Amino acid sequence: MLVAVDSSGSYANLILPKALQGARLSARDRAFATELTYGTLRAQGSLDHLLTPYLSRRLEDLDAEVRAALRLGAYQLWRTRVPAHAAVWQTVALAPRRARGLVNAVLRKVATAVEGADPLRLADVNDPLDRLVLETAHPRWIVDAYDDALGGDLAETTLALAADDTRPTVHLAALPGRLTPSALAAESGGRVGELSPYAVYLDEGGDPGAFASIRAGAARVQDEGSQLCAIALHRAVGEPATGDRAPIVDLAAGPGGKAALLAALISGERPFAAAELRPHRAKLVRQTGVGPVVVADGRRPPFAPGTAAGVLLDAPCTGLGALRRRPEARWRRQPTDLAGLVELQRALLTASLELVRPGGVVGYVVCSPHLAEAVVAPELYVNFDLVDVPALLGLGDDARAADTQGRRLQLWPHRHGTDAMSMTILRRR
């Protein structure tokens, strides 16, 4: 798994379940394999820092198989209760023959360092944010982004970064009109959620695909934060007046989670349409049962300007709000990605604002707390008013962002148990 992610650009959350499905492992060993894979990927930067003093060559210059063995061994020594001799011996056995002497020598030195009080040499690091880089295994630009979004509160930033290493609880959504949360909880052995009226938590895990309601399309796997964004948009639009058939549009709908819940909430009270640029993602949206779904560029939507009652824009973003679900993402994403994404987000939002009629609303969503992505530039909404999203959802002040007069919703894993979703709702005057 580590080699595939490193050298082939694979995604661990996609390839690991398939590999485990075909492996003859006990439940305990499946859990251990998952911990080793995800843990090593999440901690990669700190592991590289831990390994570097004991290498005569740059880690990047070693073969992918050797890098993977070194990181895997170092992770076991540093972050697990595997005995040092077992971690070293088993990792050396996994390494390519030509590199076993190197792996053995380096890991023995790492084992000695880990037995000491300061294996990461934090005593030499004066900047508290640089210390967080090593302690929480995040690139500095992501540490800075979290710190900015949390107003420079170091303790809060530490909690937010630490939450990226926690295993997220599986959230289900019972689609209104088709299934109640209590029925879904009874079927799944979960419990009814706390923030979304349609959420169910699977605290004990399990395979959601085994539930009949999931297979029938009456329920979905969906983070509770994502559910809240669809709910907020629906509430902001409000019930239609008699004869009002102005539609709600999902402008970047793939893969369809928010579209499915939003369409179920609308339930025929007004038309609903979805657009998605990439055909394979548009196919996923259609499979949820919503429609019509068109393959189109949201920057040039095939809908008449000034006619929509509401537009949901779940814009492409860095995904920093879901790092706990994608262990390699924190190292794969780069700060240079931001400029292009922000430009795209701005273009999509501009198109969304042009679609709504007077009194209509646009819900702008990103799964990122990065202020460059989450904050809507004021010049974009001179003819719009900000809707108080936390109040609309009945959430407390801890869901209010510091910017845009506290009207933007900002969820956090360490506060709400959801992905770090951000949502701004704008109402046309």
DSSP 78-89: HHS---HHHHHH
d(CA 427, CA 243): 21
d(CA 88, CA 111): 8
Residues ≥6 apart with Cβ < 8 Å to 201:
169, 170, 171, 172, 190, 191, 192, 193
Residue pointed to by tokens 């938590």: 201
Length of the chain: 429
Q: Which of 262, 311, 367, 389 is catalytic?
A: 367
H and E: helices and strands count for the chain: 20, 12
Q: What b/e readout covers 352-370, taking b as 16+ CB neighbours within 10 angstroms?
A: bbebbeeebbbbbbbbbbb
Whole-number Cα distances in Å, 186 to 55, 178, 189, 216, 353: 54, 15, 5, 16, 42
Q: How large is the angle between the packed helices 12-21 and 27-42, nearest 10 degrees?
A: 160
Residues ≥6 apart with Cβ < 8 Å to 36:
72, 75, 76, 80
**236 within 8 A of 392, measured Cβ to Cβ:** yes
- Can you tell me whether residue 307 is helix, strand or coil? coil
Residue pointed to by tokens 């023959």: 97
- 229 catalytic? Reply is no
d(CA 275, CA 278): 9
Give which of 177, 176, 144, 182 is closest to 161, Cα–Cα.
144
d(CA 94, CA 100): 9
Q: Catalogue the E-assigned strands of 164-247.
A: 170-174, 191-192, 199-202, 219-221
**233 within 8 A of 265, measured Cβ to Cβ:** no
* Cβ neighbourhood burial of 114 (10 Å; 0-12, 13-18, 19+): middle
Which amino acids are annotated catalytic?
Answer: 367
